[in-house]
């Protein structure tokens, strides 16, 4: 599945079809890198849906995408869409929680989270940041 095909698919996407989409993405070897890149798309609706799909995938199947997590962490600071920030913050909170598998926790230890910690503090200090992002950052 190309990025253009995914954009077309996301545009007409309903929230209840995440499982089918994840299967289709896995089947077509669509990388998480491309989904992360879609969260920066100029159309905020497509970007927000892409970040929601990203959240769903990383909550349900984090082990399948361990090798792509550093790319996601590397680009979190670049997220400008507030709706996308909400999903990224939830993903980061989940990936660093004790509830993820040992395999994921081991891989996460290899990543430099210093910039993410600073970003979370800046989100906490920002009085205009939405509550969901601030609570996940905390």
* Residue 43 half-sphere exposure toward CB, CA atoms < 13 A: 9
pTM: 0.82
Averaged pLDDT, 23-41: 77
Instruction: Name the DSSP letter for residue 128.
Output: T
Check whether 24 has a pLDDT greater than 60. yes
10, with CB counted inside 10 A (0-12, 13-18, 19+), is: buried
Residues 18 and 23: their CA atoms lie apart, in Å, by 9
């Amino acid at each position: 599945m190309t990025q253009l095909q995914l954009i077309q698919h996301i545009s007409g996407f309903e929230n209840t079809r995440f499982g089918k989409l994840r299967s289709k993405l896995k089947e077509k070897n669509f990388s998480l890198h491309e989904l992360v890149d879609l969260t920066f798309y100029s159309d905020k609706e497509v970007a927000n849906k892409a970040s929601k799909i990203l959240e769903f995938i990383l909550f349900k199947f984090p082990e399948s995408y361990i090798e792509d997590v550093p790319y996601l962490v590397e680009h979190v600071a670049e997220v400008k869409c507030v709706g996308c920030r909400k999903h990224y913050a939830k993903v980061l909170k989940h990936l660093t929680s004790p509830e993820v598998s040992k395999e994921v926790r081991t891989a996460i230890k290899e990543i430099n989270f210093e910039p993410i910690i600073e970003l979370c503090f800046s989100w906490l200090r920002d009085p205009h940041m939405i509550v969901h992002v601030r609570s996940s950052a905390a």
